[in-house]
Chains A and B, each alone.
Chain A
Amino acid sequence: MEKVHQKEAFGLAAKDNSGVLSPFRFTRRETGEKDVRFKVLFCGICHSDLHMVKNEWGMSTYPLVPGHEIVGVVTEVGAKVTKFKTGEKVGVGCLVSSCGSCDSCTEGMENYCPKSIQTYGFKYYDDTITYGGYSDHMVCDEGFIIRIPDNLPLDAAAPLLCAGITVYSPMKYHGLDKPGMHIGVVGLGGLGHVGVKFAKAMGTKVTVISTSERKRDEAINRLGADAFLVSRDPKQIKDAMGTMDGIIDTVSATHSLLPLLGLLKHKGKLVMVGAPEKPLELPVMPLIFERKMVMGSMIGGIKETQEMIDMAGKHNITADIELISADYVNTAMERLEKADVRYRFVIDVANTLKPNPNL
């Protein structure tokens, strides 16, 4: 067992780019004066976890303990911690630290800090690699801890810590949160379904844009979308041309931007939150002749993550989840690869993650 720190921990790690997760014992630091230590109850499985365990982005180091949609109960706080106390329900998302002094940090956008440290797979100040939430407990600087509103079920709230903030942040930043606006959401997966819920809570009219008809009933009757359009049907696209103020595009596969740009009104904004690996074709004419824009966004700052989850508490927004046991995680990853989940797997960590006595 890796023994760098004082406190023993256990979790699930990928050992190589097969991405297969297996029991792993490791250590975490003592609770520092600004740290919050919490027992992990639930951890969401984000599509990024899948990319990372398989080293699809070329930046993974093994062993890799994924998980950045983590919720639990505080067990210990450091001497200088003021915002949290033992017994509170808290969470950690994608970040555990940042430089604190650059322009981005000063603006409360730690996610764009060039020295930001992600919850797993990143080098920490003590030269160890961060380990994420597929584990029994976490220790984290209080500046990166999120309080979970009392009325939100913890398992279904966990995915908001990544999926929720990822759609919330650009909607606010680009002014796509005004009641009466018409917002398109492309793709109905982890990000997309949460996007629909937040957009509706903001008072906007929502159209889900999907490649197939089969999610129409779900989108309209269960998630509350106002309309649904199949992007492969030229007539449906044509009828909706020039009707949307903004589009949140959650699709991570290569796809065509031209029809999406056509759906926007003049000066409309196409926000990319899915990150296709290969460049997409950008037709320049819609940008030039209709002043449309294409922008990107990645998670959000800590203050706005708290704001997002408080809004979720107020409007009872949670993710639609499939709760799984720790030993189902590899099967879940396989199903996630095929988008076979409505709409996020969440690991029931506290009840099902057991240390392997053989390690």
Chain B
Amino acid sequence: MHHSLEIITLHKPQSLTQTKTETETMAKSPETEHPNKVFGWGARDKSGVLSPFHFSRRDNGENDVTVKILFCGVCHTDLHTIKNDWGYTYYPVVPGHEIVGIATKVGKNVTKFKEGDRVGVGVITGSCQSCESCDQDLENYCPQMSFTYNAIGSDGTKNYGGYSENIVVDQRFVLRFPENLPSDSGAPLLCAGITVYSPMKYYGMTEAGKHLGVAGLGGLGHVAVKIGKAFGLKVTVISSSSKKEEEAINHLGADSFLVTTDPQKMKAAIGTMDYIIDTISAVHALYPLLGLLKVNGKLIALGLPEKPLELPMFPLVLGRKMVGGSDVGGLKETQEMLDFCAKHNITADIELIKMDEINSAMERLAKSDVRYRFVIDVANSLSPP
């Protein structure tokens, strides 16, 4: 953990280092900080147990959209955050960054949305809006970028996420939800979808006919299979056990399934893949995955293991291979991704849960016991006591 704390310190979002502002706002309680009382579920310590939590949100400003939340996906990041796995959780925390809802108020400068629109809010709700990254619509790489939860927003107060009744967001960070995308199974696309789509575009992994390997079949992985197939790629799921094989092929549409613990099959697959999306969040061996790549192949790491991975040099050097990473995406490409998924009828495979089932859902998520994303039916099950 010590090593990863070092890494976090180098890379944690800028907004969390504004300790002066934090001290100021500490004087007010979450309930009184802002004018509008809100109800949600939050975690108060690293036990990660979520329970009813009263807080408040700002008035709807001239650039803001207020969203009544219908559904919120449960991302693995939510679990890492409530348990403080990465060492930078500021409790109390209200997670949730795969939010779909209805716009109930729009500020006078808001042009893109009107009341009654179905909208989405993803991982990012703030950025400087004037740096090189922001100008390129890559708010995810803005040094002043703030996350939807567990971050200090542009107004200097702590952001609370989508496990709550509503959220107030600057219009730049609100997404139009395409008509034919269902709100519940479309919600996870706001994080899982863009996390996979963005690097596939950036690293040129969308050439029809090429061969994509998807390592790990969870929230990210199952969406990667669907998006990969939509790009016309041949898709092989790479997994440590064969139990998801039938699912992967018959239900998700993967072309083949490779079990990493089968030496013969692994050997036969050497040098056959143009790209690999590696979604595995536990520490794992890169060597066998790198071997699966063709010359010039690219492996994109999306999972965030607690410790560094071991990178063998010979496969990289001998085959001119590359290891890269990616973190969600900018807002423009998130919209592009939603429209792409709507066009290809891509949604997540979800298990809809009630708000008060969240703690057992988190326990199951920790064991990867979900096919493949929990989504909270917020509007129908979040009721203040």
Contact = CB atoms under 8 A, between A and B. Distances in A.
Q: Do most interface residues of chain A lie in helix, strand or loop, or is the interface mixed?
A: mixed
Interface string B315-332: 111111111111100000
Contact of B308 (A274, A276, A283): A283
Contacts of A291: 141, 202, 324-327
B11 interface: yes
The 6 closest A-B pairs by CB, nearest first: A296-B316, A287-B325, A296-B317, A288-B325, A282-B311, A279-B310
Contacts of B310: 279-282
6 contacts: A273-B317, A279-B310, A285-B10, A288-B325, A293-B323, A294-B322
Contact of B323 (A104, A112, A295): A295
B324 A282 contact: no
A286 B287 contact: no
Nearest to A102: B295
A175 to B, nearest CB: 13
Interface string A103-131: 11000010010100000000000000000
Given A273-B317, A282-B286, A294 B295 contact: no
Which residue, A282, A284, A287, has most C-beta atoms of chain B within 10 A?
A284
B313 A295 contact: no
Contacts of A293: 322-324
A22 interface: no
A44 B311 CA distance: 31
Given A272-B313, A281-B308, A296 B319 contact: yes
Nearest to B294: A103
A215 interface: no
Contacts, number: 118
A61 interface: no
B145 to A, nearest CB: 10
Q: Do most interface residues of chain B lie in helix, strand or loop, or is the interface mixed?
A: mixed
Given A282-B311, A291-B326, A295-B321, 18 more contacts: A103-B295, A104-B295, A112-B319, A258-B308, A272-B316, A275-B313, A275-B317, A283-B308, A284-B308, A285-B8, A287-B326, A289-B325, A290-B11, A294-B316, A295-B320, A296-B321, A297-B320, A298-B318
Q: How large is the interface on B (under 10, 10 to 19, 20 to 34, 35 or more residues)?
A: 35 or more
Contacts of B326: 287-288, 291
Interface string A258-269: 100010001000
A282 B323 contact: yes
A223 to B, nearest CB: 24
Nearest to A293: B324
Contacts of B312: 279
A173 B325 contact: no
A286 B296 CA distance: 21
Nearest to A173: B320
A292 interface: yes
Which residue, A257, A288, A290, has most C-beta atoms of chain B within 10 A?
A288
A112 B320 contact: yes
A297 B318 CA distance: 7
Contacts of B141: 266, 290-291
